[in-house]
Amino acid sequence: MSNAEASLEHLFRVFTMPEHKDSTLSQIEQHLSDNLSDFLSRHVVAKRTSLEEIEQDFNNAQLPLQPEFVSTHAEHLLEKLVTNSVNTYAPTFIGHMTSALPYFHLSLAKLLVGLNQNLVKIETSKAFTPLERQVLGMMHNLVYEQTDAFYASHLHSAAHSLGAFCSGGTVANVTALWVARNLKLAPKGTFKGVSRDGLAAAYKAYDINNLGLICSKRGHYSLGKAVDLLGIGRANILHASVDSHTLDPKEVLALGKAYKAQGNELLAIVGVAGTTETGHIDPLDELADVAQELGCWFHVDAAWGGATLFSDTYRSLLKGIERADSVTLDAHKQMYVPMGAGMTLFKDPAASAAVRHHAQYILRKGSKDLGSTTLEGSRNGMAMMVYSSLHVLGKSGYQLLIDQSIEKANTFADMIKAHPDFELITEPTLSLLTYRYCPAQVQTFLKSDQCETNLINEHLDNLTKAIQKQQREAGKSFVSRTRLGINTYPDECLTVFRVVIANPLTTVGHLENILNEQVEIAINQPQLTTLLSYLQSEDNAIA
């Protein structure tokens, strides 16, 4: 055996060899499982701040020709990659939907890789397939609350699926609209269905110009990707109720009718349960009525907000979700599962037959291979993480997490409202809110009606942007920012701070510190000086 061959063999056998415990990688592993928080605070230290600098560490496109020792490589990873990654576990990291995970996922992740199951087919996953189907059933039950008999007859039926597991909300939305499209453009006469004959033939067979989708302007950008991919075209996303955060059912109905009257067909209405930017929830129950009246599919994108259903306190906010034809859920958001855990759920267990595919060597007719109705092919056993989380936390554990997040977001909103120099822009519907730094005298000025609000808002936008960047770069805490249109200033967009309360370890004290830090950064900004001197000159002009 050559040296190279021996080394390769070593790489694959090493699990059985105790000596690998001495390598740097094993030390990392030990450190991670002994004390993750200590590992993160020691190693994720942002040695470099600018992305351009970090790019210098990754600017070599040459393939590594010679193998290197795992230990050497592990050191390289620590030095170049881990240091300059983001500590999403920090309780002061409240800007995005990605946050801390319960500790047991670290070991489960190892189990997942250790087993390396492929859920595309039973031959490479065995028990994982019924497990995934059960998880989909549990989540279906959370949304649709069907009878025991319903689940007994559908959970493991080869001809049915209660949903499709996938890598995330984006693929879940694509999957839902894929099924909706194929059902809408089903075989008819000599036309064998869009799945076989394509869109051009479908539009001809159904005598329509276009297929459209209605959502609010807060609809997730993945809907744009979905209609692009499905051949429907981004121009056929109809944004209803554009001066509101949520859809107005009357406007949706009128828009849908007008669209159909022009020789088009309506594919779907998409309601959002927890918009990504502001957390708003569309009036789902009323939208279900509108969809029924228009004869179109009703999809609810509950990627982020869906976990609210675990809470008896707040579940009613999503009333009507149980009438959706399909629902998107992301377990890697408010279910605290590692990334790669999205789901589409179908009200009708027969719906997914519209996208069923068969192949000779797997996914044979009548088989229960999950791959025959999923968009993705090879897929890992992430459903196990959802399964375990459901067992370890239970419904009541999730309820507690959801309730605490929402209550903390409300407390934070109160703190912002009580502070003279901050302005709450959107109230928290769930645990997401937006606000900005706006000194008291500027607020008074904006309300005075004598000013050009757009010029002042532009100054405030610059200030918000500067504060957000500096806070991020200082590395103690993180809020995100976005641009929003709000009713107070109909023709403008405002730059605002966006906060997502997710980490259960975030305390009111952390939130106070974040506001204080923002004030400290703000008062040292040239943008603030510019703004105040602008006000001065306006004041003088008015006087």
> Which residues of this protein are in contact with ligand PLP, per CB under 6 A?
168-170, 173, 220, 222, 272, 276, 301, 303-304, 330, 342
> Rounded to 5 degrees, what are φ and ψ at 220?
-65, 145
Q: How far apart are CB 82 and ligand PLP at their closest, in Å?
A: 23
Q: How far apart are CB 166 and ligand PLP at their closest, in Å?
A: 9
For residue 134, count CB atoms less than 10 angstroms from its CB and return exposed for 0-12, middle for 13-18, buried for 19 or more: middle
Q: Which residue type is seen at 177?
A: L
For residue 23, count CB atoms less than 10 angstroms from its CB and return exposed for 0-12, middle for 13-18, buried for 19 or more: middle
> For residues 202 and 281, which CB has a smaller minimum distance to ligand PLP in the complex?
281
In our burial notation (b when 16+ CB lie closer than 10 A, e otherwise), range 97-127 reads bbbbbbeebeebbeebeeeebbbbbbebbee
Q: Which residue type is seen at 195?
A: S
> For residues 275 and 373, which CB has a smaller minimum distance to ligand PLP in the complex?
275
Q: How far apart are CB 63 and ligand PLP at their closest, in Å?
A: 31
> What length is written for the chain?
543
3-state secondary structure of 426: strand
Q: How far apart are CB 169 and ligand PLP at their closest, in Å?
A: 2
Task: Identify the CA nearest to 435 among candidates 494, 497, 493, 483.
Answer: 497
Strand-pair category, 342-346 with 326-330: antiparallel
Q: How far apart are CB 342 and ligand PLP at their closest, in Å?
A: 5
Measured CA distances, 380 to 125, 127, 149, 165, 312 (Å) = 9, 13, 30, 10, 32
> For residues 338 and 475, which CB has a smaller minimum distance to ligand PLP in the complex?
338
Within 10 Å of residue 482's Cβ, how many Cβ atoms?
Answer: 15
Q: How far apart are CB 482 and ligand PLP at their closest, in Å?
A: 13
> For residues 222 and 388, which CB has a smaller minimum distance to ligand PLP in the complex?
222
Distance, CA of 295 to CA of 277 (rounded, Å): 29
Are 185 and 169 contacting, i.e. CB atoms less than 8 angstroms apart?
no
Block residue for tokens 């949520």? 246
Are 246 and 271 contacting, i.e. CB atoms less than 8 angstroms apart?
no
Distance, CA of 413 to CA of 169 (rounded, Å): 28
- For residue 256, is it left (φ>0), alpha (ψ between -120 and 50) or beta? alpha
3-state secondary structure of 126: coil
Distance, CA of 105 to CA of 341 (rounded, Å): 13
Q: How far apart are CB 274 and ligand PLP at their closest, in Å?
A: 6
> For residues 184 and 220, which CB has a smaller minimum distance to ligand PLP in the complex?
220
Q: How far apart are CB 329 and ligand PLP at their closest, in Å?
A: 10
Q: How far apart are CB 330 and ligand PLP at their closest, in Å?
A: 5
Q: How far apart are CB 306 and ligand PLP at their closest, in Å?
A: 9
For residue 189, count CB atoms less than 10 angstroms from its CB and return exposed for 0-12, middle for 13-18, buried for 19 or more: exposed
> For residues 282 and 369, which CB has a smaller minimum distance to ligand PLP in the complex?
282
Q: Name the residue whose CB lies closest to ligand PLP.
A: 169
For residue 145, count CB atoms less than 10 angstroms from its CB and return exposed for 0-12, middle for 13-18, buried for 19 or more: exposed
> For residues 155 and 272, which CB has a smaller minimum distance to ligand PLP in the complex?
272
What's the first-to-final CA gap in the chain, in angstroms?
92
Q: How far apart are CB 196 and ligand PLP at their closest, in Å?
A: 28
Q: How far apart are CB 282 and ligand PLP at their closest, in Å?
A: 11
